[in-house]
Amino acid sequence: MASPAPTHSEPTSLLARVLDSDVFYSYRKSPVTVVASIVLAGLILAAVLAPLIAPYNPFDPSSLNLMDGYTAPLSDSMMGNYFVLGTDHQGRDVLSTILYGSRVSLFVGISATLFAMVLGVTLGLFAGYRGKTTDAIIMRIADIQLTFPAILIALLIFGFARGIIPPAQQESAAVWVLIFAIGLSNWAQFARTVRGATMVERQKEYVAAARIMGVHPVMILVKHILPNVTGPVLVIATIGLALAIIEEATLSFLGVGVPPTQPSLGTLIRIGQQFLFSGEWWILFFPAVTLVLLALSVNLLGDWLRDALNPRLRQ
Amino acid sequence: MLAFILRRLGQSVLVMLVVALIAFIMFRYVGDPIASMVGQEASSADREALRQQLGLNDPFYEQFFRFITNALQGQFGISYRLQQPVTELILSRLPATIELAFTSALLALVFGVGFGVFAALRPKTISTAAIMTGSLIGVSLPTFLIGIALIYVFAVELQWLPSFGRGQTVQIGWWRTGLLTESGLRSLILPAITLSLFQMTLIMRLVRAEMLEVLRTDYIKFAKARGLSSRAINFGHALKNTLVPVITITGLQLGSVIAFAIITETVFQWPGVGSLFINSVAVVDVPVMAAYLMFIAFVFVVINLTVDILYYVVDPRLRVSGPARGH
Amino acid sequence: MRTKLTGIAAALLASSMLVSAASAETVRWARASDALTLDPHAQNQGVTHTFNHHIYETLLIRDLEGNLIPRLATEWYLKEGDDTVWVFELREGVTFHNGNEFTAEDVVFSLDRARSDTSNMRQLHADVAEVRAVDDYTVEVQMNGPSPLYPNNVTNTFMMDKDWSEENDVVAVQDFGAGEDNYAVRNTNGTGPYELVSREVDVESVLEYYEGWWGETPEVTEIIYLPIAENATRVAALLSGEVDIVQDVPVQDVERLSSSEGFKIETGPENRTIYFGYKMTDEPLASSNITDANPFADTRVLEAMSLAVDRNAIQQVVMRGQSIPTCVNVPPFVNGWTEELDACPETDLDRARELMAEAGYADGFSVTLDTPNDRYVNDEAIAQAVVGMLGQIGIDVTLVSRPIAQHSPIILNNETDFYLLGWGVPTFDSAYNFNDLVHTKGEEYGTYNIGLYSNPELDEKIVQLGTMTDLEARDALIAEIWATVQEDHVFLPVHNQVLAYAMRDDITLPVHPENQPSMTSVTFE
Q: Over 90: is that where the pLDDT of B252 sits?
A: no
Looking at the complex, does the CB of residue B152 fall below 8 Å from at least one CB of chain C?
yes
Q: Over 50: is that where the pLDDT of B188 sits?
A: yes
Does residue B315 lie within any of the structural domains? no
For chain B, the straight-line distance linking the first and the last C-alpha, in angstroms and rounded, comes to 29
pLDDT at A312: 52
Q: State the average pLDDT over residues A252-258.
A: 78
Question: What CA–CA distances, in Å, run from C508 to A55, C65, C246?
Answer: 47, 17, 12
Q: Is C253's CB within 8 Å of A277's CB?
A: yes
List CB contacts (< 8 A) between A147 and chain B: 15, 19, 255, 296-297, 300-301, 304
Burial of A192 (C-beta count, 10 Å sphere; 0-12/13-18/19+): buried
Q: Determine the Cα–Cα distance for residues C80 and B179; give it in Å rounded to an integer.
A: 66
Q: Determine the Cα–Cα distance for residues B306 and B11; give it in Å rounded to an integer.
A: 13
* A58 and A92 Cβ atoms separated by less than 8 Å: yes
Does residue B222 lie within any of the structural domains? yes
pLDDT at C15: 42
The residue of chain B with its CA nearest to that of A142 is: B15
Does residue B150 lie within any of the structural domains? yes
- Give me the long-range contacts of A56-60 (CB less than 8 A, separation at least 24): A56/A92, A56/A93, A56/A96, A57/A96, A57/A100, A58/A92, A58/A93, A58/A96, A58/A97, A58/A100, A58/A263, A59/A100, A59/A261, A59/A262, A60/C391
Does residue A75 lie within any of the structural domains? no
Q: Is B155's CB within 8 Å of C10's CB?
A: no
Q: Over 90: is that where the pLDDT of B290 sits?
A: no
How far from the centroid of its chain's Cα atoms is residue C205's Cα? 23
Q: Is C9's CB within 8 Å of B282's CB?
A: no
Q: Is A277's CB within 8 Å of C236's CB?
A: yes
Q: Determine the Cα–Cα distance for residues B164 and B180; give it in Å rounded to an integer.
A: 18
Q: Over 70: is that where the pLDDT of C239 sits?
A: yes
Q: Determine the Cα–Cα distance for residues A45 and C230; give it in Å rounded to an integer.
A: 36
Residue of C199, C380, C426 whose CA lies nearest to A261: C380
Q: Across all residues in chain C, what is the average pLDDT?
A: 90
Residue of B143, B190, B196 whose CA lies nearest to B167: B190
Does residue A2 lie within any of the structural domains? no
Q: Determine the Cα–Cα distance for residues B162 and C30; give it in Å rounded to an integer.
A: 14
N residues, chain A: 315
Per-residue pLDDT band for B322 (boundaries 50, 70, 90) equals: very low
Looking at the complex, does the CB of residue B275 fall below 8 Å from at least one CB of chain C?
yes
Residue of B202, B327, B323, B308 whose CA lies nearest to B259: B327
Per-residue pLDDT band for B282 (boundaries 50, 70, 90) equals: confident
Q: Which residues pair with C27 in a beta bridge?
A: C223
- Residue A259 has its nearest CB partner, among C231, C392, C400, at C400
Question: What CA–CA distances, in Å, run from B145 to A288, B130, B148, C33, C378?
Answer: 9, 22, 5, 21, 20
Chains near C, with 3+ CB pairs < 8 A? A, B
Does residue B239 lie within any of the structural domains? yes
Q: Is C317's CB within 8 Å of A276's CB?
A: no
Domain count, chain B: 1
Q: Across all residues in chain B, what is the average pLDDT?
A: 82
CA atoms within 13 A on the CB side of C497: 28
- Burial string for A68-85 (b: 16+ CB within 10 Å, else e) reads bbbbeeeeebeeebebeb
Amino acid, single-letter form, for residue C219: E
Q: Over 70: is that where the pLDDT of A243 sits?
A: yes
Looking at the complex, does the CB of residue C373 fall below 8 Å from at least one CB of chain A?
yes
Residue of A21, A43, A23, A20 whose CA lies nearest to A33: A23
Indicate which CATH number applies to the domain containing B171: 1.10.3720.10
**CB contact residues (below 8 A), chain C span 436-455, against chain A:** none
Minimal C-alpha gap between A155 and chain C (Å) = 13
**Chain A contact probe: residue of B16, B133, B140 with most A CBs at under 10 A:** B140
Burial of A267 (C-beta count, 10 Å sphere; 0-12/13-18/19+): buried
Q: How many CB atoms lie within 10 A of CB A16?
A: 10
Does residue A34 lie within any of the structural domains? no
* A103-117, A266-280, C170-184: least confidently modelled range: C170-184
Chains near A, with 3+ CB pairs < 8 A? B, C
Per-residue pLDDT band for A311 (boundaries 50, 70, 90) equals: low
Vertex C308, ends C307 and C309: CA angle to 5°? 95
Instruction: Give the helix ranges, DSSP H, for B122-217.
Output: 126-139, 143-150, 182-216
Q: Over 60: is that where the pLDDT of C188 sits?
A: yes
- Residue B139 has its nearest CB partner, among A157, A288, A299, at A299
Q: Determine the Cα–Cα distance for residues C506 and C413; give it in Å rounded to an integer.
A: 49
List CB contacts (< 8 A) between B283 and chain C: 405
Q: Is A288's CB within 8 Å of B141's CB?
A: yes
**CB contact residues (below 8 A), chain A span 211-270, against chain C:** 255, 259-261
The residue of chain A with its CA nearest to that of C259 is: A278
Q: Over 50: is that where the pLDDT of C1 sits?
A: no
pLDDT at C180: 65
Of B135 and C281, the one with more pLDDT: C281
Reduce the DSSP state of residue C146 to 3 states and report it: coil
SS3 content of chain A, % helix, strand, coil (to 5): 75, 0, 25
Per-residue pLDDT band for B68 (boundaries 50, 70, 90) equals: confident
Reduce the DSSP state of residue B229 to 3 states and report it: coil
- Residue B284 has its nearest CB partner, among C2, C228, C405, at C405
How far from the centroid of its chain's Cα atoms is residue B46's Cα? 40
Q: Which helix (H) or strand (E) holds B75?
A: none
Reduce the DSSP state of residue C484 to 3 states and report it: helix
- The pLDDT > 70 percentage for chain C reads 94
Q: Determine the Cα–Cα distance for residues C382 and C311; give it in Å rounded to an integer.
A: 10
Does residue B254 lie within any of the structural domains? yes
Reduce the DSSP state of residue B54 to 3 states and report it: coil
* C157 and C72 Cβ atoms separated by less than 8 Å: no
Q: Determine the Cα–Cα distance for residues A188 and B322; give it in Å rounded to an integer.
A: 13
* B243 and B316 Cβ atoms separated by less than 8 Å: no
Q: Determine the Cα–Cα distance for residues A49 and B255; give it in Å rounded to an integer.
A: 42
* C342 and C273 Cβ atoms separated by less than 8 Å: no
Domain count, chain A: 1
SS (H, E, C) B257-306: HHHHHHHHHHHHCCCCHHHHHHHHHHHCCHHHHHHHHHHHHHHHHHHHHH
Minimal C-alpha gap between A280 and chain C (Å) = 9
**Chain B contact probe: residue of A147, A189, A199, A245 with most B CBs at under 10 A:** A147
SS (H, E, C) A91-145: CCEHHHHHHHHHHHHHHHHHHHHHHHHHHHHHHHHHHHHHCHHHHHHHHHHHHHH
* A23-37, A219-233, B280-294, C9-23: least confidently modelled range: C9-23
Q: How many CB atoms lie within 10 A of CB B230?
A: 11
Indicate which CATH number applies to the domain containing A205: 1.10.3720.10
**Chain B contact probe: residue of A33, A148, A252, A297 with most B CBs at under 10 A:** A148
- Residue A212 domain boundaries: 93-313
Residue of B44, B45, B49 whose CA lies nearest to C412: B44
Phi, psi angles (nearest 5°) of residue C145: -160, -170
pLDDT at C22: 38
Count chain B–chain C contacts defined by CB atoms under 8 A.
171
* B120 and B205 Cβ atoms separated by less than 8 Å: no
Q: Which residues pair with C502 in a beta bridge?
A: C246, C265
Burial of C388 (C-beta count, 10 Å sphere; 0-12/13-18/19+): buried
Question: What CA–CA distances, in Å, run from B21 to A144, A267, B12, B16, B52?
Answer: 12, 32, 14, 9, 22
For chain C, the straight-line distance linking the first and the last C-alpha, in angstroms and rounded, comes to 35
- Residue B253 domain boundaries: 88-272
**CB contact residues (below 8 A), chain B span 79-108, against chain C:** 80-85, 89, 92
pLDDT at A310: 67
Per-residue pLDDT band for C501 (boundaries 50, 70, 90) equals: very high
Does residue B295 lie within any of the structural domains? no
pLDDT at A214: 81
How far from the centroid of its chain's Cα atoms is residue C367's Cα? 30
Minimal C-alpha gap between A22 and chain B (Å) = 18
Amino acid, single-letter form, for residue B305: L
Does residue B144 lie within any of the structural domains? yes
Per-residue pLDDT band for A99 (boundaries 50, 70, 90) equals: very high
Q: Determine the Cα–Cα distance for residues C379 and A81; give it in Å rounded to an integer.
A: 27
SS3 content of chain C, % helix, strand, coil (to 5): 35, 25, 45
List CB contacts (< 8 A) between B255 and chain A: 147
Does residue A69 lie within any of the structural domains? no
Q: Which helix (H) or strand (E) holds C295?
A: none
ipTM of the complex: 0.84
Number of helices followed by number of strands (H, E) in chain A: 14, 2
Does residue A30 lie within any of the structural domains? no
pTM of the model: 0.86
Does residue B41 lie within any of the structural domains? no
Chains near B, with 3+ CB pairs < 8 A? A, C
- Residue A32 has its nearest CB partner, among B129, B156, B256, at B129
The secondary structure of C260-292 as a DSSP string is STTEEEEEEEEEEEEEEEE--SSSPPTT-S--S
Minimal C-alpha gap between B141 and chain C (Å) = 17
Dihedral (CA of A92, A158, B195, C226) sign: negative
**CB contact residues (below 8 A), chain C span 242-261, against chain A:** 250, 252-253, 255-257
